[in-house]
Amino acid sequence: MEYWDGMKAIAPELWLTGFALLALLVDLLTKGRNSRTVGYVTLAGLGVTALALMGQSERVTAFGMVEVDAFGRFFKLFTLAALAVVCVFVMSDRRERQHGIGEYYFLLLGAAVGIFFMVSTNNLLLLVLGLELLSLASYSLAGFHKGNKASAEAALKYVIFGGLSAGVMIFGISLLYGLTGTIDLAEMATLGGEGLPRGLVSQLAASPIPVGIAVTMVLAGFAYKISAVPFHFWTPDVYQGAPTPVTTFLAVASKAAGFGALLRFLGVMFVRGDVQGLVADYGGQVGLLIAVLAAITMTVGNVSALGQSSLKRLLAFSSVAHAGYLLMGVATMNNEGFSAALYYMAAYYFMNLGAFGVVLYFEGVNGNDHIDSLKGLGRKAPLVSIVMVAFLVSLTGLPPTMGYYGKFLLFTAAIDNGMTWLAVIAGLNSAISLFYYFRIAKALFLEEPSDESVPRTQPIFTGMLTAFGVCTVLFGLYVSPIMQWVVSSMDLLG
């Protein structure tokens, strides 16, 4: 039966939705007395969903909308892994109460459902729906501490910027629909000739200007999600104001989802083997636009990070800069660049989750996230501090870490595709980033502690951070497992 086949294909999404409702129900039944229970339900749900995902192998289209393929699976597993870590962060957050916060987990799972649909559809309508589901959950999460002024302000800024970008994006999509007569990306790119749906080819032959306007508008929505310049203004305030686990979620899972959807949008529309010549040529021009965007994004991100005194704000600008590096891979508009972006995403997972975890740990110790208050912590909390240095080295892109190999792949992809100027700008930017990343290391190790207090230990949390640090270095030296996963996931363009 057709419908049951479809339901089987979207089983991971159904499991996730089911567990989200279960989390809410458990929270209601236990009357919010112990929210850790809800946290364990969430972790169980993530595990079950991961199992359901790994059971899928064939490539199908469910309900004519949901594409089940290895590319989507990469981002879905990425999301699950990131969310599991965020859940542990919430449970280890010393500044967070551990009862009456069941909604925290429910909203995280709801956001995950949005991400799942967002990264696995060629249908622009479902893409917008997934994006909005993710956004709505993120808005509530950013303002989770209702009484905290910074948190409320962050949520409001996030809503206003998000609403604006989503509006621009939906307008762009409506233009694309009006021009081509279809909301399916694959149809848009492959169909030709007269009559509806008439496809992109005849539209480009008539005039490329409306297509350019529409595509640029859609890109605005993605640029907001991945916090690329000029849609990055919300990033520092929201990252700083939101609770640190939520910041981690926004910086890793939400950004990866934006990149997943962007890669699919560009890949299916302009790059795939079956698109017609005129459309593929136009794709090259879109790539150039993205290359310029990448150069501006990484420069603005790195230069703004230089003067920051708050650790979360610094990492916010650093994540803007990393969006620029990742866009470098997107701009090449071919398999090599897209694979490099995927690998860098995996590197980004380890080093950014780790860095935010360390920030969470130091917040628990100091009560704030100022770089000045890190003075001398290298002596008081040596393990976490050493691990932090590993993350910083990786974020800068120095060997022997994942960040280095990821950047190597991105630079190679850019140079191979005639964008040497972009690689040069990225190289200069990495040199700038060295300065602000090592201000943190300097505060940790080269300055005297201001008092003699010894921070309380959190064995599980510290152990997890150490594991991340080890992975960052290990997978930087031994790249083949992750590289193989990336290569087998790039079935998008085939």
Partner 1 sequence: MHFDYFNVLVFAAVGFVFVIANMLIGAIIRPARKQQEGLEVYECGEPTIGDAWINFDVRYYTVALVYLVFAVEIAFLFPWALVMQGALKGEGHAAGVGYFALVEGFLFIAILFLGLAYVWAKGDLSWTAEYQGEDYHPQNPSEGRAAVPSLAELQAAESESTEEHAAESESDEEAA
For partner 1, the binding residue among 24, 201, 422, 440 (CB under 8 A) is: 24
- Tell me if the bond preceding 455 is cis, omega within 30° of 0: no
Nearer to partner 1, 228 or 311 (CB): 311
Closest approach, Cβ 198 to partner 1, in A, equals 15
Nearer to partner 1, 149 or 196 (CB): 149
- Strand positions, DSSP E, 401-487: none
Nearer to partner 1, 259 or 282 (CB): 282
Closest approach, Cβ 414 to partner 1, in A, equals 32
Q: Is 400 in the site for partner 1 (CB under 8 A)?
A: no
The SS3 call for residue 172 is helix
Q: Where in 139-158 is the site for partner 1 (CB under 8 A)?
A: 145-149
Q: What distance in Å separates the CA atoms of residue 72 and residue 189, rounded to the nearest whole number? A: 20
Q: Is 368 in the site for partner 1 (CB under 8 A)?
A: yes
Nearer to partner 1, 4 or 448 (CB): 4
Measuring CA to CA, how many Å separate 442 from each of 296, 370, 378, 397, 447?
28, 14, 9, 18, 7
Closest approach, Cβ 15 to partner 1, in A, equals 15
| The one segment of 24-32, 107-115, 349-357, 386-394 that binds partner 1 by CB under 8 A | 24-32
Q: What distance in Å separates the CA atoms of residue 217 and residue 228, rounded to the nearest whole number? A: 14
Q: Tokens 């890669």, residue?
A: 263
Cα three-residue angle 364-394-430, rounded to 5 degrees: 115
Closest approach, Cβ 27 to partner 1, in A, equals 9
- Tell me if the bond preceding 197 is cis, omega within 30° of 0: yes
Per-residue x/- track, 192-231, partner 1 (CB under 8 A): --------------xx-xx---------------------
Q: Is 8 in the site for partner 1 (CB under 8 A)?
A: no
Residues in binding contact with partner 1, number by CB under 8 A: 24
Q: Where in 88-107 is the site for partner 1 (CB under 8 A)?
A: 94-95, 97, 99-100
Nearer to partner 1, 27 or 336 (CB): 27
Q: What distance in Å separates the CA atoms of residue 78 and residue 471, rounded to the nearest whole number? A: 15
CB-count exposure of residue 55 (10 Å: 0-12, 13-18, 19+): exposed
Q: What distance in Å separates the CA atoms of residue 166 and residue 153, rounded to the nearest whole number? A: 20
Q: What distance in Å separates the CA atoms of residue 175 and residue 19, rounded to the nearest whole number? A: 37
Closest approach, Cβ 368 to partner 1, in A, equals 6
Residues 383, 389, 391, 392: what is their CA dihedral angle, to the nearest 10 degrees?
Answer: 160
Nearer to partner 1, 147 or 459 (CB): 147
Measuring CA to CA, how many Å separate 368 from each of 162, 317, 365, 394?
28, 18, 8, 24
Closest approach, Cβ 96 to partner 1, in A, equals 8
Nearer to partner 1, 94 or 442 (CB): 94
- Residues lying near partner 1 in the complex (CB under 8 A): 2-4, 21, 24-25, 28, 31, 94-95, 97, 99-100, 145-149, 206-207, 209-210, 367-368
